[in-house]
Structure 1
């Protein structure tokens, strides 16, 4: 890590990044029916409510207070000298920033509770001078994917790329540089817009020099659009009508 977390908390501010599947330019307008919207909230009180964060009602929350993750969620850690794990629904251990033997760089890393996810290959801390312990995190969202994902970011200080469903939709540094300017902390929310595919994976690809935590991971499951429900209902009615006609024909 290149610097320690500062004690002053930033004033309220937010940015929105519109990233289309075919457009990788920061601030580009969403392409019709194919866009994901990134909103970084950098100045809300740490631990702000879900309503303040704009999270959808019914979102499932993973707070990393134990090693078992919420159903459908997996974590993979790669490119770390402290090992690797996943994709898995069970973490190798819990990480408590308040009990970090190397210092207090992650003391604000918990959004709720006393634990968070750290980007090392064993979810344990490492000497802050390490140039290889800090890896990349890939989140997987099963059960049909998610239409909204959110999580806190703390202490991210160098450029990182954010890759959705295997395609980079935010260029390197777009969010991380803004996070850096706000003392490495804030809440990132990603919303599926238009007819974009649900989020099935998100990779946060940072540098080997940068250590950070994420917490209060909110996942809102993808649900069929109203027109999909209408098609499904129409199909069921057609099947039911055919079954009744066949029953009547048999007398």
Structure 2
């Protein structure tokens, strides 16, 4: 089991429901509440600035339903649906929700769902994630039932796809696909060699060919630098620029 806590947001248009789930989150040791939101629009704006691991998300809300909102979430954010209507269960699982809580639910039911999420993240961050060497010169990744040794010097960039990562390598037209979250990988890669520049991309700084406005060119692939990561990337450019 991972010792890393899960950050979460509660989204529900009913004040009493928000208060109940907030109380449950606060008494659960491995959960850290970042915000409670009264609708999906408010949550969407918050997540643009601060992505989290887990959403406790009501389904039937005005303007944008929980099901609709779940399809728009960042790739590394997972959902536990909370709703008073059991007819949404099948649809909830179709959008890959980790669990489905039918209101009114007690703390035992909530804890069971939260524990399922905790185990899921532990799996992604632990047993099936990359095993990095202490020297950080290579990593082992599980791909197609094999452990592949990947030299970090050969990596061009990492591309996040929901629960998976594509590893793009030099002299290899096809990427290596592995189960892992981009956030977990970002925390473990050497910061002087790799930088996250977009919600979906971590680039090898040694392999950046051209920087043009807010885009990076690596091996003929253009990657946008998003606003969230631009200050850190500009700092890297300034530190490594020579202005005559």
Q: TM-score, normalised on structure 1?
A: 0.25
Higher helix share: 2
- Specify which structure has the bigger relative contact order, considering alpha-carbon pairs within 8 angstroms and separated by 6 or more residues: 1
Q: TM-score, normalised on structure 2?
A: 0.25
